[in-house]
Structure 1
C-alpha cells in the first residue's frame, strides 16, 4: 500500500462513518465547509446521559446568563481597583483621538461610550469587558456548532474557554484584549459563513470584523495571513483565491484601519517604532531557549496546565487530520485559525520577551479543536483501545475544567486562602497590582484639595501607571502628567503639555524616598518631608511605600533622554 493511501485510510478510520461524506465542488456557489467527523452529536453523553440536542442551547444560555451575572456582580462589588492599564486606557477615553501611542483607539472608544452613559466609575469602565466576553462566548458557541454540527460541542467549547484564567481575567478587566478576542472570534464566524454560503456581502462583514479587530490591537493583523494560508492549503476552498471575496474583506479591514495609519504618520510613526521595538527585542536581553521556555510555561500558567495540554493535543489532532493527503477541511480551518499565532509567539520569544496574553486569540479555535479531539474519541468509545482513549479524554477534560474554575476562583477571592492560613505567595498573587490604588488616591486627593485652595495645582509622577491611577482616584480627576526621567516613551509624552502649567503648584508621587534632582530644579520649593503611604497588596504582602511631595511654583521641566519606544 502506498504511503498516501495509508494516510487516507487512517483519516477515514479516525472519524465515525456517518461523517465520512465528500462535499462536491461548485463553481457557481461556495461549497459548504466539511462538517468534520470529529464532532458527532451526542458525544456529551458522559455528562448528560444521552440528553436530546435541544437541551444544549438551553444549557448554554443558562451558563451564559450565570457567567454574565457573576461578572456584573463582581465588577460592581469593587473588590479590585482598576489595573494600571485600565486606568491608563481610561485617560485615553478623556482625550479621544484616531489612535494612540502603542495601541489602536477601540478600547478608548468603548470606555468613553460606557462612561458617558454611566459615569466615571470602575463598574462602567469594566462593563464593556463583561459584554464583550459574553459576545465572545456566543461566537465560540456558534463557531463550534457550525464546524461540528453539534450544539453540545459548542457548549463544551464555551466551558473550556470559561475555565481559562486568562479568559476569565479578560471578562472583568477592560484592556485591549477584551475587544481583540471578541472581534477575533466574530471574524472567524463571519469568515466561516462566507466560505460556506458565498456572496460578497458575507466577505464584507468579515472585513468589518477584521478592521474593528485591528482598531483594538495590532495582533489582529495575523488573521489575514492565517486565512489565506487556509485557502492555499484547502483543496475544497482554494478557488476563493481566484474570487474577489477574500480580497474585499482584506480591503475593508485595511480601510477601517486607515485612521490609525494616518495618526501614526502625523506622529512620527511612533506606533510602528513601538511595535518594531517590541518585536525586535528593544533593550531586552534574553537567553533564547530560556525565554521560549518561559513563554510556554506562562501559557500553561494562564490557561492551567491540564487545559493547556488538552488544547495542544487538540491542535495536534487537527494538524494530523487537516494536513493529511485526504485531510479533513474542518480540521485544517481550526489549525490555521489558531496555530500560526501561537507559533509566531514562540518564535518571537527566542529573541525578546513575549507577554503571556499575546497568544490569547489562539485559544478560541484551539478550544474548538480540543472539543473535536474529545468528540472523535467519544465516537469510538466502544471499540477496544479507543474505549481507553475516550475514558482518558473525558477524565482529562473534566479535571481540566474543575482545575481551571478553581484557579479562577482563587484569583477572584485570594483573601479566602489567607483566611484559612494559606496565603498566596507574592509571586503567585496576580491580583496584587489591583489593590491599594484607591487608598493612594484618597491621600493624594486630600493634599490636592488643600493645595488647590492656594492656587491652580496639577499632579505628576515618574511612572505612567501611577499618574493614570491617581488621575482616576482623585475626585476632581485633575490634570496629570508623567515626567521623563529616562524611560521608554508612552502616551503622556505624546500629549506633553507641561508648559501650560508653568507657575502652578503640584503634587508629586513616587516610590523614591527623595525627589529626583530634575524635580528639585523644576520648582521653587519642594517639600523635604513627604507623606508616606504604605502600599498594602494583601494581608501578608507589603510592597515599598509611596512618597507624596508638595511642590510649589513650577518653572518648567527639562525631560531626560528617552530610552526607546
Structure 2
C-alpha cells in the first residue's frame, strides 16, 4: 500500500495514462482505441478537481475500494474458514494487479466491474439452483456491472463468454434460456454498445477495423512462436509462478464449496486463456489482455496454497522494482541505450515543457506538434494544453480530432520529437522550413535516458 501511494504521487503519467486523460478533455461518444468510460471519468474528475497526479489516479483508489470490498463479500460468502486478509494479500502481491490497479488505464475499471458482475451472477445462479427462481435484482445488477465493464474495455467479452459457458454446461441452469429475465439482462448489457455504435457510425466503424486488424488479421501468415512465447512467459511471471502452481492445483482439486462459483471461475479462466493463446499464435496478444481470467481464482487459492509467503515476497520484490523503474530511474537505461523506449518517456517532461514554452513565446500563437501520440499526450498533460497535435504514420485518436486540418493551414509551430519517432519521418515535410533542433538531454543521477528535440516550423501545410 505504501508503494501504491509512492507510485500515485511520484510517477509521471505513463504515455497511455496521459493519452486517456487527453481523451477526457475531448469528450465524445466513444474513441478509436477503446470504449469511453475511462475518458468520461477523467473528464469529470479533471473538471472538478483540476489536473494533477492526485486527480488522475483518484478513480483508481475508488475502484480499488470497490474491488477489494467485492472480494470481501466473495470470501465471506464462499466459506466461513476463508481469510479475507490472505486473499487480499495474494491479489495485492500479484504484480499484474499491482500495476493495473495503479495505472489510470481502462483496466482498473474493467476488472472491478467484471468482479462485481461475476459475484452478483454467482449469487443469482446459486439461489436459482436452490429455489428455482433466483433473486432477479442480482441478475440485473450483474448485467449493469457487465455493461460498465464493456464500456471500460472490450476484453469484458471473455467474462460474458465464461457466463454463457456456465449456463450451457450445467443442465440445471439451461432452463434459464427459457426465462425472459435472462434476455432482459442481455438487453441491459447491450446498452453499452449504444455510444460505441454512435461513434463508429460517424467514423466508418474504425474501432472494429482496428481490433480485427490488431488481433485476427496478421500482417504475415503462419504460426508466431515469438508472440506466443512472449504472451505465455510474461503471463507466467507477471502473475507469479507461485500463483500458477495454485491454479494448477485448483484444476486437480474438487473443492468443498457449495456454490456454482468454481465453475464460473473455471470457464472465465479457460476461455480467456485459450482464446488469447490461440490469438498469440496467429497475430499478437499482450499479457494484460488476460487480466480478467484470474480474478475469480484468488478466493479459491487458500484451499490449495497453504503457504502464501513465497508469493508475497516475490510480489513485493517485483513491486519495489516497478516503483523504482517508474519514479526514480528506468532501470533499462542501465543496461542499454535503446531498450524499453516506452518507460524512458516517463522522464524529462518539465525540462521539455520549459523549452517548448520558451520557443512558443517567439512565435504568434503557434501550434504544438509532436511526432507520436505518446509524446503529444505527455506534452499536453505537462502543459495542461488539450490542443497539442500528433503527426505520425500511425492512425490514432488525434486523426479524428483533426480530421479537417485546413483551419491550421499557414500557422507556425513548435515541433517536439525524439529518436524513437524522429520528426524527419513525417512532420518536417508539413512545413515550408524548420529551424535547427534544440537538443534536450534527459538524465537522472548522471545516467543518460534519452534526448528530445525541439524545433520551430513555419507555414504548416495540411
TM-score by length of 1: 0.73
Distance 1:415 1:553 in 2: 38
1:497-556: CA deviation from partner (whole Å, max 9, x where unpaired): 4321222210111225975375444323311x211012447754523x1211111222x2
Superposition RMSD in Å: 3.0
Corresponding residue for residue 54 of structure 1: none
Distance 1:432 1:310 in 2: 35
Number of aligned residues: 452
Distance 1:509 1:225 in 2: 44
The CA deviation at 1:230 is 0.7
Distance 2:427 2:20 in 1: 26
The answer to whether 1:147 aligns with 2:147 is no
Contact 1:471 1:478 in 2 (8 A): yes
Corresponding residue for residue 215 of structure 2: 279
Corresponding residue for residue 289 of structure 2: 358
Corresponding residue for residue 377 of structure 2: 468
Distance 2:242 2:301 in 1: 12
Moved more, 459-468 or 288-297: 288-297
The within-5 A match list for 1:503-514 is: 503-512=410-419
1:253-303: CA deviation from partner (whole Å, max 9, x where unpaired): 102322112211221000000111111144367753443222111112222
Moved more, 169-178 or 427-436: 427-436
Contact 2:272 2:293 in 1 (8 A): yes
The answer to whether 1:268 aligns with 2:204 is yes
Distance 1:274 1:215 in 2: 17
- Evaluate the alpha carbon distance shift between residue 250 and residue 269 of structure 1 in structure 2; reply closer, same or farther with a 3 A threshold: same
The CA deviation at 1:134 is 2.4
The CA deviation at 1:236 is 4.2
Corresponding residue for residue 547 of structure 1: 453
Q: Secondary structure at the match of 1:434?
A: coil
Contact 2:437 2:454 in 1 (8 A): yes
Corresponding residue for residue 16 of structure 1: none
The answer to whether 1:134 aligns with 2:65 is yes
Q: Secondary structure at the match of 1:509?
A: strand
- Evaluate the alpha carbon distance shift between residue 126 and residue 411 of structure 1 in structure 2; reply closer, same or farther with a 3 A threshold: same
1:160-179: CA deviation from partner (whole Å, max 9, x where unpaired): 11001121112321001111
- Evaluate the alpha carbon distance shift between residue 372 and residue 450 of structure 1 in structure 2; reply closer, same or farther with a 3 A threshold: farther
The CA deviation at 1:466 is 0.8
The answer to whether 1:525 aligns with 2:433 is yes
Which of 10, 13, 20 lines up with 1:82 in the alignment? 13
- Evaluate the alpha carbon distance shift between residue 149 and residue 343 of structure 1 in structure 2; reply closer, same or farther with a 3 A threshold: farther
Corresponding residue for residue 442 of structure 1: 354
The higher relative CO (CA closer than 8 Å, separation ≥ 6) is in: 2
Q: Secondary structure at the match of 1:516?
A: helix
Quick check: which has more Rg, 1 or 2? 1
Corresponding residue for residue 181 of structure 2: 245
Contact 2:113 2:149 in 1 (8 A): yes
Contact 1:224 1:250 in 2 (8 A): no
Distance 2:366 2:215 in 1: 39
1:144-172: CA deviation from partner (whole Å, max 9, x where unpaired): 332334451x3322211100112111232
- Evaluate the alpha carbon distance shift between residue 430 and residue 321 of structure 1 in structure 2; reply closer, same or farther with a 3 A threshold: farther
Distance 2:367 2:326 in 1: 36
Distance 2:387 2:107 in 1: 28
Distance 2:71 2:265 in 1: 12
- Evaluate the alpha carbon distance shift between residue 368 and residue 284 of structure 1 in structure 2; reply closer, same or farther with a 3 A threshold: farther
Contact 2:414 2:456 in 1 (8 A): yes
The CA deviation at 1:141 is 2.5
TM-score by length of 2: 0.89
Distance 2:72 2:297 in 1: 13
Q: Secondary structure at the match of 2:155?
A: helix
- Evaluate the alpha carbon distance shift between residue 330 and residue 182 of structure 1 in structure 2; reply closer, same or farther with a 3 A threshold: closer
Distance 2:433 2:225 in 1: 51
1:162-215: CA deviation from partner (whole Å, max 9, x where unpaired): 001121112321001111111111111111222234132221111111111111
Q: Structure 1: any 5+ residue segments left out of the alignment?
A: 1-66, 375-392, 558-565
- Evaluate the alpha carbon distance shift between residue 274 and residue 370 of structure 1 in structure 2; reply closer, same or farther with a 3 A threshold: same
The within-5 A match list for 1:222-233 is: 222-233=158-169
Distance 2:332 2:24 in 1: 40
Which of 288, 292, 297 lines up with 2:233 in the alignment? 297
1:446-501: CA deviation from partner (whole Å, max 9, x where unpaired): 222343xxx121111221111111111125x15211124xx331111111143212
1:298-326: CA deviation from partner (whole Å, max 9, x where unpaired): 11222232233323433x236x669xxxx
Contact 1:236 1:329 in 2 (8 A): no
The within-5 A match list for 1:141-540 is: 141-152=72-83, 154-197=84-127, 198-283=134-219, 287-314=223-250, 316-317=251-252, 329-374=260-305, 393-394=306-307, 397-414=308-325, 425=335, 431-451=343-363, 455-474=364-383, 477=385, 479-484=387-392, 487-496=393-402, 497-512=404-419, 515-516=423-424, 519-527=427-435, 529-536=436-443, 540=447
